[in-house]
Structure 1
């Protein structure tokens, strides 16, 4: 005897939302649990050659169980599209499309159970062949020809199954269920339904609807915050997977694992059973079955979690205040956007949200400056404060790069990224102010072609300085136009070496300055030159004997400088420690003001 479903499978599958392959596995496990199975075996079959330590591509998945199997009643339900059979019998809800989820991932499915053989695919209706005798003592489902490349991480799969079914195991209180996972004939791992933590339970109302929260609070084995929204005693979606406008974003410093269930959630799960149809916000268009939004649910849920924390002697308000204060210490320039922390966000989230708000305000001002003068003032103050603060971060990074193992490229990119050559660079893109604040606006970096065109003798004799920057001091947007150049900065960023003596470095820098000025007939432009030396007592004596001036710093060695009028340059010899210390001294007053330790009179 045989029968077949009358619905068009292709159209049903096409109308289902996209799912992850694991969703098909979840559906099969759920069917086994619905059949009162106590042992479920999942076998991943692979024809890939068995190379050691090589993850294999999965060609077929077989799921077997010792449950009730396909009797006449549930076989009839299986053949009907949109059946409510499981909901009536078990109160564990089915939308009647679970078997079609399989075909979102696999080409075909074949089932053996009791006296039934069932097969179906996207291109064929469900065909049920009823045998004369009960040939099969267990139920086996064969998922054939996956339409995606399946390579399994078994540890991650175990975690995802445990998380997905934790609500089922907790809410139904079923007897022990073992889920065994195999690759070919080799057992990979086992999941036991009893391996769940002890939950506590609370009831609360959202509008007229009753909700139940089952939770584990501050359990050392669950050192994270996550929520699971359930429908009909199974997880539908994790809080972390919800859309931004729907999820609970609060309490990121509190370890709580919770399951939320309600008849309202049962009635508003979508056809894939992977999400809900609940709107983010309540609207006038909502129907009588959707009189409560995600916003309503999350507001009520936050209140319950605060109560749970209070019962466990944890002050939510104290954590919120501490996180807010730490955020202000880390980023004082965002103070306008860091005024409250009602949702007890983590420091990271507070800072991310504040930065996003600042960027949104910038866009608003760009679109309409005239009507947003107050907002413009707030933004400019924040950007100035951010710039000063970012300077300090750069100084701190330079201090970390001053050890002997720091590579030349890392230090080079700290001052200005290598190969910078376009005109989009701004004051944020270079850090030449580390040498002198007058260089804040110097961001035009000459290419070799430009050097050859404007300063041919320099390029012919150049031993390639690491950075050659040029700018006009009185404007922010610097120039590549030769006749408008007033200053050039040459920085030799060669790694300090015993082979580079002060005399050799001085000679080279004087030559560079001379080659540049030879390109001008009636004037000489100012040239600022910097070079790093391997400082020791011998180096210092050499510089002192050459009448170099000194700028004292808190580091071991000062900065040495000397003007050379013939080529209109000042040569500076420096080490990275002294440079970082000098920059820190120039920035520290601004930092004190930002942190409220000094006021401007």
Structure 2
């Protein structure tokens, strides 16, 4: 029996376990047991072998089909290392032993066993001065953690062998702990990758209980199914004016799934501690690469350094290294930040895989060129700045690509605007080189102008979409009827709203006249009083008028009629000319109100009235002929000027409205060199 009091050495073991922070899978318990076996074999001075036996359970979880789902129940780790001799057992008994400090041991690995499993049983055969001993004991999260401790002297000599039984996986880990042997093998490789590339990992075999004949060799799996080749590199960073060296092992590895799996693995004392997805740092790494034979591969970057060894936490699952600088231009060399390390790794990774990245970027530009020539015309000017397009992943659906193009556009806009503001507000007396300053100004203006061009192109295409919608609305519907005037009205401007309710982008008054878009007040389908309600009332400002105050001096009234309507009559409600005159009189008399507030009209206010309607026989008879309307210059509509009311009236047929809008927009297409076959339906 050991001379130490096993119950007194462990202090507050449950408190110790509560402080441990592990990942949701609980894999660290297995990794720590394997790590102990590796160290034990190294101490025995042999190549050694480790066996991992997985015993599964099938009684806990059931899916909707009532089929049993397997989970890991017990794990047995067997090695032929030096074993639990007195020195190793004494170290095992101490809470925070420094026995393995030189190897980076934190003295907490065995506690992860009890965090993840209910208990452990240790059975170890070891040799001391030619005598073979066998030590067994139970290890539990109890007031007396070590129980049933026995030491037996074996009569016959035997080779060392230690078996760690990790028993009864805790329920909160059963759903997450991997039970597929190939997956477990890959995870063991991932955690011990530095041992593997250094050719210092013992032979490890993993198998399911009673199926040892189907065992997987970790080394063979690594050589045959993971690694292609590897390349060493390094970089240095300053800490307190001292060069800190970081070693990199780049591993080209075979693709394990359809997804990219490019990772940085940060290690401490030959074991992986954390990892970072390279695709989060370099957009070109969002897909697997293809080699010269068109075989896909992934890249892993294994990072090691004394700096990492010194800054790993107790659980060995994180580093006590600050993440990023508060300011990117902070140049202090007193401290190393994780983003400094990542920046150097990404530079090295790009350099290492430059031929493959160049090919990816070439294909990206080809894809974006094709898309901006067809679907996303408005973003075509962004092709001038390929360095920004590196952030775009083109291996996704078109909608996702458009969102990324939008983000790039806004990023360039913000950078250019910030640059311009800084240059414009710069103290001219501090400008050392005027030519360089002018060049910077010119470049910033050019970049900002390019983004303005994308906005303009998108707006022109948006206009074509609206024109197409209007065109379809004017056709006879499948039921033989024509669209109601409400539909046309809402296309031009939402009904029962005012300019205070509607954003500029939601109105399409340019369909009627470009000037109408620059109104200072608008009421759409709002009653002026209980009887009078023009479709749209607009105040048009002029350059000599205070644009913020009434009375109004220019007002536009618009009346929509149902396409192809042919039932006009001589009543006030059947004659749109009389309807508009009535609205004008209400406005001039001061009786018109909007939201309870009187609409003030100047005595000399000019009115511009549009009747948007197809010229059918009754319209021509009731309005055109009766009120002496005259043909417009293009002979497509009619106009009339009322001297007393100072009002101009114009009848605009839907065909003319549509044709004029198309013609105006076509000029813009030609000026921007946009292809005419864009139909705006995307």
TM-score normalized by the length of structure 2: 0.56
- Alpha-carbon distance in 2 for matches of 1:76, 1:65: 23
- Any gaps of 5 or more consecutive residues in structure 2? 1-5, 38-49, 123-136, 152-162, 210-215, 237-244, 290-296, 395-400, 428-437, 589-602, 625-629, 677-682
1:212 has 2:249 as partner: yes
* Structure-2 change in CA distance of 1:333 and 1:205 (3 Å): same
Matches within 5 A, 1:34-113: 34=35, 36=50, 38-40=52-54, 52=64, 64-68=74-78, 73=88, 76-77=91-92, 80-81=95-96, 85=100, 88=103, 110-113=118-121
- Alpha-carbon distance in 2 for matches of 1:75, 1:490: 95
1:229 has 2:246 as partner: no
Asked whether the 8 Å contact 2:54–2:72 carries over to 1, the reply is no
Asked whether the 8 Å contact 2:499–2:523 carries over to 1, the reply is no
- Any gaps of 5 or more consecutive residues in structure 1? 121-125, 181-190, 534-538, 553-558, 596-601
Match in the other structure for 1:352: 407
> Which of 260, 264, 276 lines up with 1:238 in the alignment?
276
Asked whether the 8 Å contact 1:432–1:439 carries over to 2, the reply is yes
* Structure-2 change in CA distance of 1:302 and 1:142 (3 Å): same
Q: What's the secondary structure of 1:501's corresponding residue?
A: coil
> Which of 575, 579, 592 lines up with 2:673 in the alignment?
592
Could you tell me how far 1:569 is from its partner in structure 2? 4.8
> Which of 373, 389, 392 lines up with 2:457 in the alignment?
389
Matches within 5 A, 1:136-155: 138-140=165-167, 142-143=169-170
Asked whether the 8 Å contact 2:77–2:164 carries over to 1, the reply is no
Q: Deviations over 1:192-246 (max 9, x none)?
A: 97595453322223245432111247x595453632424234372232586xxxx
Asked whether the 8 Å contact 1:334–1:355 carries over to 2, the reply is no
- Alpha-carbon distance in 1 for matches of 2:582, 2:520: 22
* Structure-2 change in CA distance of 1:481 and 1:323 (3 Å): same
1:263 has 2:263 as partner: no
1:520 has 2:587 as partner: yes
Matches within 5 A, 1:549-568: 561-563=637-639, 568=649
1:304 has 2:341 as partner: no
* Structure-2 change in CA distance of 1:528 and 1:575 (3 Å): closer
Match in the other structure for 1:555: none
Q: What's the secondary structure of 2:531's corresponding residue?
A: helix
Asked whether the 8 Å contact 1:327–1:351 carries over to 2, the reply is no
Q: Deviations over 1:368-427 (max 9, x none)?
A: 964499488557634542332121341454477676899999999986678976759664
RMSD value, Cα: 6.3
- Alpha-carbon distance in 1 for matches of 2:302, 2:384: 35
Match in the other structure for 2:145: 128
- Alpha-carbon distance in 1 for matches of 2:611, 2:182: 60
* Structure-2 change in CA distance of 1:386 and 1:235 (3 Å): same
- Alpha-carbon distance in 2 for matches of 1:478, 1:398: 33
Q: What's the secondary structure of 1:518's corresponding residue?
A: helix
Matches within 5 A, 1:444-455: 446=523, 451-452=526-527, 454-455=528-529
1:437 has 2:447 as partner: no
- Alpha-carbon distance in 2 for matches of 1:295, 1:551: 68
Could you tell me how far 1:260 is from its partner in structure 2? 0.9
- Alpha-carbon distance in 2 for matches of 1:564, 1:192: 94
Q: What's the secondary structure of 1:67's corresponding residue?
A: strand
- Alpha-carbon distance in 1 for matches of 2:496, 2:322: 51
- Alpha-carbon distance in 2 for matches of 1:422, 1:100: 69
